[in-house]
Structure 1
Amino acid sequence: MESQPNCWRRAAEEATGFGAALPQRGERVAVSGCGTSWFMAQAYAALREAAGQGETDAFAASEFPASRAESYDRVVTVTRSGTTTEVLGLLGELRDRTRTVALTADPATPVMDAADHVAVLDHADERSVVQTRFATSALAFLRAGLEQHGPLPAKAVTDAAADAEFALAGPLPGSALEAEQWTFLGRGWAYGLALEAALKMREAAGAWTEAYPSMEYRHGPIAITGPGRCVWLFGEPPEGLADEVARVGGALVSEATDGRGLDPMADLVRAQRLAVAVAEERGFDPDQPRNLTRSVVLDGSAAAGS
């Protein structure tokens, strides 16, 4: 986790050299992946649309609407291992139908031949089953690609990296460390990061976590909040939300109001740290969680049904 700021800076430099293989302004784009990679795809898609660079959809690889393939100018996939069955199957379906780009950490895998263009972020590979630095480096790479076409409604990747150094050095919120349940919220591109934070807590610590768009919190999820339970907000809080959390006895964690206003991707680093801390407190190995493997590779029958 601690290597992320430097990984992001390097990913941003590599994106500059990748050039025209990345989505261009005005193109209609889809982004896809599985698990953590899908959540990074959601964050990127929302950020690209918010920047006015073109319509962008995000799909779990197993749920990509193949009938829509020709309507996209480019499809971007993310797979750390380069072996994920659903991603490779999607790229096979898209071959000769639309341009494809893949981001991976391992150049010695089948994805190298499955996509038209492949960006290899091998410097961000990791041994842990649970993704941290590859996922955020992939998002940093894609964000830097957007920066080449104009300003974003977010900090520059280099500034986000500086925020990540701050997030790694500071103490974790006591209310989050002591909680029994965590609800993560985000709006716009930060919603994908909220989903990823909740996944990290479930994967590493077997924790009870949920994630929602910030404005949806009061439409039901607030019912679970109470004393000893934490609401972690990525980005700016909607008006009145902090008061609502306080009214029901929950603890609010929000860098937008409590700290220096971290870039949401840097705030995700704090959530990663929280997942490790809670896992270790419970006697779990956060790198080797139960029931999970580094890559999901399905046999023929399982893949056909996915």
Structure 2
Amino acid sequence: MSAGARMTAEMAEQPAVLARLVARADAVAEAVRTVAPRPLTGTAIVARGSSDHASVYGRYLIELASGRPVSLAAPSLHLLYDARVDYGGQLAIAVSQSGQTPEIVQTLARLRDAGARALAITNDATSELVLAAEAVVALEAGAELAVPATKTVTAQLLAFALLARALGPVPFSDAQLHELPAAVSAVLDDPAPARHAAERLVGDLRLVVTARGLLYGAALESALKLQETAAIAADGFSSADLRHGPITIVGEGFPVIALSAGDGPAAADVAALVGVLRERGARVLTIATGAGADLPLPDVTEALAPIVAVVRGQQLACELALLRGRDPDAPANLRKVTAT
């Protein structure tokens, strides 16, 4: 099997995986409403790696929809420091593609013992994580064999959009949900921008990926994919945080990838930062809706654009790995399941 064949094949499955999950939107909503406390005082999300990046997106959407605070739980607090915290009235959501990561399973159990209602998002509906939860959102993405997560990540992102939809008003319509798989197909059918961008980055050892708001999680995930597959030191920052110190590393010729969606309130801030970076001589590539983007996205509303942007990031990571002589299917020193 040629290098990158598995990752490429699994990326190609994403429109079908997403379409199946959209078709189950009402069933997901019912599962969420069954387990969510009433009244809901807040939500705590437990995850690592790519699942954590999907959770950053989920944090934004769920807080917008529910009107209640959302936190990203720290497993170390519960498993190393034995924190005693009252989670009464909270919905605890644990996210793991395999459902096998011990600390995610154990942390969800701890939160449940502390009063939370427990929900799992996983690709394995028979896993230990499901046994620790009271309800499950099964991704049903099929086996994922390449080490870098692709179809399970976009399915997790969509699962969070469906969870938010179940908890309150969301900034997207059901019609836009149903259009999402076609938007992902459009990106997958247009690999040339990712190939051209990879050619511009092939000699770089370090870069920054930036976004703000709902697209911030997509920036973090795109940076991780570049780290995993192409062995490039890619740092993900919000556009606000990048201004607070890290911008000093961005000088003449330094590569930056900026993500934005034209209809969102964060787009103006990202555009302003791109202008500042270009004045500093940075080489900025944009993943964005609208004309002129280096890696264009279809006209998708900001609330769902992270799902499509992550697919562009996957394409770029795969192309860059191949140009650098690496096999993105099996990056050195990585395993599919990390037993932390």
Q: State the Cα deviation string for residues 278-297 of structure 1 (Å, max 9, x = none).
A: 11111111121122111122
1:165 to 185, 208, 219: 185
- Corresponding residue for 2:99? 82
- Corresponding residue for 1:266? 308
Q: State the Cα deviation string for residues 139-171 of structure 1 (Å, max 9, x = none).
A: 202212323455423574333333212221222
2:258 to 226, 232, 235: 232
8 A Cα contact 1:66 1:93, kept in partner: no
Residue 94 of structure 2: SS of its match in structure 1? Answer: strand
2:131 to 113, 116, 119: 113
Distance in 2 of aligned mates of 1:72 and 1:66? 18
Distance in 2 of aligned mates of 1:254 and 1:127? 27
8 A Cα contact 1:38 1:60, kept in partner: no
2:156 matched to 1:143? no
- Corresponding residue for 1:242? 274
Which stretch of structure 1 is more off in the superposition, 152-161 or 33-42? 152-161
1:204 to 229, 239, 243: 229
> How far 1:182 moved relative to its partner?
2.7
Residue 17 of structure 1: SS of its match in structure 2? Answer: helix
2:119 to 91, 101, 104: 101
8 A Cα contact 1:214 1:237, kept in partner: no
Does the C-alpha gap of structure 1 residues 22 and 125 become closer, same or farther in structure 2, counting only changes over 3 Å? farther
Structure 2: stretches of 5+ with no match in the other structure: 1-10, 262-266
Residue 178 of structure 1: SS of its match in structure 2? Answer: helix
- Aligned residue pairs, count: 298
Residue 95 of structure 1: SS of its match in structure 2? Answer: helix
Q: Which aligned runs of 4 or more in structure 1 are off by greater than 6 angstroms? A: none
- Corresponding residue for 1:22? 32
Distance in 2 of aligned mates of 1:277 and 1:48? 33
Does the C-alpha gap of structure 1 residues 67 and 163 become closer, same or farther in structure 2, counting only changes over 3 Å? farther
2:140 to 103, 122, 127: 122
Which stretch of structure 1 is more off in the superposition, 39-48 or 120-129? 120-129
Does the C-alpha gap of structure 1 residues 37 and 148 become closer, same or farther in structure 2, counting only changes over 3 Å? same
> How far 1:127 moved relative to its partner?
1.0
Q: State the Cα deviation string for residues 106-128 of structure 1 (Å, max 9, x = none).
A: 23322231111122223344111
- Corresponding residue for 2:55? 41
The TM-score with structure 1 as length reference comes to: 0.87
Distance in 2 of aligned mates of 1:61 and 1:161? 33
Q: State the Cα deviation string for residues 4-38 of structure 1 (Å, max 9, x = none).
A: 12211211222421334326597211111111111
Does the C-alpha gap of structure 1 residues 157 and 124 become closer, same or farther in structure 2, counting only changes over 3 Å? farther
Residue 45 of structure 2: SS of its match in structure 1? Answer: strand
- Corresponding residue for 1:11? 21
8 A Cα contact 2:46 2:108, kept in partner: no
8 A Cα contact 1:205 1:284, kept in partner: yes
> How far 1:74 moved relative to its partner?
1.0
Which stretch of structure 1 is more off in the superposition, 185-194 or 121-130? 121-130
> How far 1:204 moved relative to its partner?
1.1
Matches within 5 A, 1:187-226: 187-225=212-250, 226=252
8 A Cα contact 1:30 1:56, kept in partner: yes
8 A Cα contact 2:187 2:308, kept in partner: yes
2:158 matched to 1:153? no
- 2:20 partner letter: R
- 2:28 partner letter: F
> How far 1:176 moved relative to its partner?
5.0
Residue 210 of structure 2: SS of its match in structure 1? Answer: strand
Distance in 2 of aligned mates of 1:133 and 1:70? 32
Distance in 2 of aligned mates of 1:126 and 1:216? 34
> How far 1:220 moved relative to its partner?
2.4
Which stretch of structure 1 is more off in the superposition, 102-111 or 37-46? 102-111
Distance in 2 of aligned mates of 1:251 and 1:237? 19
> How far 1:172 moved relative to its partner?
1.9
Indicate the RMSD between aligned Cα atoms, in angstroms.
2.4
Structure 1: stretches of 5+ with no match in the other structure: 299-306
Does the C-alpha gap of structure 1 residues 240 and 111 become closer, same or farther in structure 2, counting only changes over 3 Å? closer
Residue 98 of structure 2: SS of its match in structure 1? Answer: coil
2:52 matched to 1:32? no
Does the C-alpha gap of structure 1 residues 19 and 144 become closer, same or farther in structure 2, counting only changes over 3 Å? closer
- 2:319 partner letter: A
Paired-residue identity, %:
27
- Corresponding residue for 2:200? 178
Distance in 2 of aligned mates of 1:297 and 1:228? 35
- 1:255 partner letter: A
- Corresponding residue for 2:87? 70
